[in-house]
Amino acid sequence: MTTDSADIRASRKMALELLLSDHAGDCVAPCQARCPAGLDIAGFVYELASGNPRRSLEVILDSLVLPGSLGRICPRLCEQGCRRCDLDEGLAIAGLHRYPVDLEQKKSEPFVPGRAASTGKRVAVIGAGPAGLAAAFYLQIKGHDCTIYDAQDEPGGMLRYGIPAYRLPREALEFEIEMIEKLGVHFQMNTRWGEDFCLEDLREEYDSVFIAIGAWKSQRLRCEGDELALSGIDLLEQVAKGEKPYLGDKVIVVGGGNTAMDAARTAIRLGTRRVRTFYRRTRQEMPCLMEEVEAAELEGVSIDYLLAPVKLQRDGDQLLLTCQRMELGEPDSSGRRRPVPIPDSDFQVECTAVVAAIGQSVEVSLAREQNIEVSAWGIASDLKTLETNIPGVFAGGDAVLGADLAIRAVAAGRVAATSIDQFLKGKPVVGLEEQAAVEMRAVSERERAEIFRRIELSSRPQLNLIESSRRLTSFDEIDLGLTDAQVSHEARRCMTCGCRKAGNCIMRQYATEYQADPYRFAGERRQFSQDTSHPEVIYEPGKCIMCDACVRIAAAAGEGLGVTTIGRGFQVAMGVPFDGPLAEGLTKAALRAVEACPTGALALRTGRSCDLGECASCPGASNEAST
């Protein structure tokens, strides 16, 4: 009998899509879905709440390298998605994943992950920024031998030479790089692609190459006299290398992104009395995180909006910057409203230095010379696998995306490591396996009440900052991190969202295998609700697919009341006859019913929402805060 054909697969796929169309639940916690690295946030926070920071770090490193550094500088995309934002305040996730690294840093024998036996394969990575470091970390763990080539004296990329030490202290970054070094990754510093080696050399010597050269080409002001301006990243690089460039007492920084804010705050720390930032749009359009803007203002940086430079000239020992006022017009390709010059609005400002911080781009000429295709942003590589048009050569991070975020570079490094591993093993290169996932998206008021039924209001911890006098005169780290007590409290605020069976849901496995689209037939879905009356089992009717498995198991076990299918139409689901409590319907057969249930409809109270599957170290303690 034929059980597998194109038609059969298509009909199975459609059946799965219909089953998923009204499923009420989140496979993956909403915070995890927002982190570009897909960090198992509920999983690592659970370990922290259980008083197990080292295990927490192991869970983190499964998908996120440099968690201590990212805990300091990531714009925390995850926290905006945290379910608690709907109740009180989102969890301090970044601070929580910084914590176990800070603890390790104080130990005499810090944690180093285990490594698979050497495969004998060798990989060259160009660029020791977060993308290159992350790729080398995961490749090395998989047993491949990595060498990172970098033009600078020290590894870290923009984390070392761009982001100032008051946001990311060098010791914290170096500690995480040391972990990568201890895994056996070899660093070949002061070695520049295009000068000291060419791609052909690496392709001959290594089995695969990952290009992660970042976006280091500073954009000029594009106005008359712009050669008189300093570049923001050059200024930050000089300071990162221990130099103290003289800027004078009146500095104007042009730009509204991370580099602009960091350059302005650096100028303050170098002793400049008056630092102004000119941005050509308004505060709402600034690409920088608002808390960075507020921190700059707190330190004395003033920001002028809707201004653009049109001319820079010398005036004795000063500079004279001519600016034009702007107004916002129609949205441009970035979706932000385009700044349009206001005629006859020019005016002049005197200053001692002008810093251009209006963006960085990728040096693509090297790639072009090697016949690697490029895009409008940088080097072109496949979205899913990061392979370039040259087999065995991969590219990722800012080098592909253009100037972006460290977390996306780290995530790209892991994707590259997965693809390169597949390539080296002669498997199809498909990148990271993506599991099908359902999201609840908007929740009704009734569902909201159900989700927060047993959750008490509590606020997120206050930041522990150094005193303001030290801020202005030193590059000491501003945010000292969470205390032990704050971590313990904050970790317990996590509601361990996501499905308790995310790691072993049969319907999800099939949906992945058949590439089912959960939203193909999306319409009205069932309401999310939970029956928590049973001592061992949690029942979510919105996830029941009426397979009858639990009904048959209860009957075979001779349960008194047992369970049956109840209701009509959309509302049909498993239930206990005569509206009895679940604890009476499922007594001796409860655990077997949970095991047989193909979805997260029946799950153990102690089940974890994470994707760790059969994690041996799961303490299995019940989390009172769980919904």
Ligand X SMILES: Cc1cc2nc3c(=O)[nH]c(=O)nc-3n(C[C@H](O)[C@H](O)[C@H](O)COP(=O)(O)OP(=O)(O)OC[C@H]3O[C@@H](n4cnc5c(N)ncnc54)[C@H](O)[C@@H]3O)c2cc1C
List of residues contacting ligand SF4 (CB under 6 A)? 29-31, 35, 37, 39, 41-42, 64, 70, 74, 76-78, 82-84, 91, 93-94, 97, 407, 494-497, 544-550, 574, 596-599, 601-602
Interacting partner of 582 out of ligand X, ligand SF4, none (Cβ under 5 to 8 A depending on kind):
none
Nearer to ligand X, 398 or 611 (CB): 398
- Please tell me whether residue 212 binds ligand X under the rule CB under 6 A: yes
Return the residue matching tokens 């050059």: 234
Instruction: Tell me the number of residues near ligand X by CB under 6 A.
Output: 39
Return the residue matching tokens 């700059």: 296
- Please tell me whether residue 210 binds ligand X under the rule CB under 6 A: no
Nearer to ligand X, 416 or 563 (CB): 416
Return the residue matching tokens 């059946």: 15
Interacting partner of 126 out of ligand X, ligand SF4, none (Cβ under 5 to 8 A depending on kind):
ligand X
Are 213 and 363 in contact by the 8 Å Cβ rule? The answer is yes
Window of 34-42, 129-137, 314-322, 575-583 that interacts with ligand X by CB under 6 A? 129-137
Window of 82-90, 257-265, 276-284, 324-332 that interacts with ligand X by CB under 6 A? 257-265
Taking the complex as a whole, the smallest distance from the CB of residue 563 to ligand SF4 amounts, in Å, to 7
Task: Compute the residue count for the chain.
Answer: 627
Among 101, 125, 399, 487, binds ligand X (CB under 6 A): 399
Q: Which of 531, 513, 497 is nearest to 608 (CA)?
A: 497
What SS3 class is residue 386?
coil
Residue type, 62: D
Q: Which of 481, 512, 451, 581 is nearest to 24 (CA)?
A: 451
The CB density around residue 577, as the number of other CB atoms within 10 Å, is 12
Residues 13-42 that bind ligand X (CB under 6 A): none
Among 36, 81, 129, 378, binds ligand X (CB under 6 A): 129
Taking the complex as a whole, the smallest distance from the CB of residue 127 to ligand X amounts, in Å, to 3
Interacting partner of 82 out of ligand X, ligand SF4, none (Cβ under 5 to 8 A depending on kind):
ligand SF4
What SS3 class is residue 201?
helix
Taking the complex as a whole, the smallest distance from the CB of residue 321 to ligand SF4 amounts, in Å, to 36
Residue 267 neighbours by CB under 8 Å, 6+ apart: 235, 247, 251, 253, 275, 353, 355
In whole angstroms, give the CA distance from residue 477 to residue 324: 37
Nearer to ligand SF4, 97 or 269 (CB): 97
Taking the complex as a whole, the smallest distance from the CB of residue 358 to ligand X amounts, in Å, to 12
Are 458 and 71 in contact by the 8 Å Cβ rule? The answer is no
- Please tell me whether residue 159 binds ligand X under the rule CB under 6 A: yes
Nearer to ligand X, 255 or 498 (CB): 255
Among 39, 101, 158, 240, binds ligand X (CB under 6 A): 158
Interacting partner of 150 out of ligand SF4, ligand X, none (Cβ under 5 to 8 A depending on kind):
ligand X
Taking the complex as a whole, the smallest distance from the CB of residue 479 to ligand X amounts, in Å, to 12
Nearer to ligand X, 14 or 380 (CB): 380
Nearer to ligand X, 24 or 233 (CB): 233
In whole angstroms, give the CA distance from residue 39 to residue 31: 9
Element (H, E) at 176: helix 170-182
Taking the complex as a whole, the smallest distance from the CB of residue 606 to ligand X amounts, in Å, to 36
Taking the complex as a whole, the smallest distance from the CB of residue 366 to ligand X amounts, in Å, to 6
Nearer to ligand X, 38 or 541 (CB): 38
Helix-then-strand count for the chain, H and E: 24, 20
CA atoms in the 13 A half-sphere facing the CB of 58: 13
Element (H, E) at 409: helix 406-424
Nearer to ligand X, 104 or 398 (CB): 398
Beta strand pairing call for 602-604 and 230-231: unpaired
Interacting partner of 192 out of ligand SF4, ligand X, none (Cβ under 5 to 8 A depending on kind):
ligand X
Taking the complex as a whole, the smallest distance from the CB of residue 436 to ligand SF4 amounts, in Å, to 17
Residue type, 476: D
Residue 184 φ then ψ, to 5°: 110, 5
Return the residue matching tokens 């999310």: 528
Q: Which of 169, 133, 150, 210 is nearest to 407 (CA)?
A: 133
CA atoms in the 13 A half-sphere facing the CB of 417: 27
In whole angstroms, give the CA distance from residue 82 to residue 71: 16
Among 141, 308, 321, 409, binds ligand X (CB under 6 A): 409
Taking the complex as a whole, the smallest distance from the CB of residue 538 to ligand SF4 amounts, in Å, to 11
Calculate ∠ Cα 211-212-215, nearest 5°. 125
- Please tell me whether residue 151 binds ligand X under the rule CB under 6 A: yes
Nearer to ligand X, 126 or 544 (CB): 126
- Please tell me whether residue 385 binds ligand X under the rule CB under 6 A: no
- Please tell me whether residue 194 binds ligand X under the rule CB under 6 A: yes
Residue 293 neighbours by CB under 8 Å, 6+ apart: 261, 283, 286, 303
- Please tell me whether residue 229 binds ligand X under the rule CB under 6 A: no
Interacting partner of 393 out of ligand X, ligand SF4, none (Cβ under 5 to 8 A depending on kind):
none
Nearer to ligand X, 65 or 593 (CB): 65
Residue 188: Cβ-neighbour burial (10 angstroms; 0-12, 13-18, 19+): middle
Among 49, 78, 131, 312, binds ligand X (CB under 6 A): 131
Q: Applying CB under 6 A, which residues contact ligand X?
A: 73-75, 126-132, 149-152, 157-159, 162-163, 192-194, 212-214, 216, 233, 236, 258-259, 262, 397-399, 404-407, 409
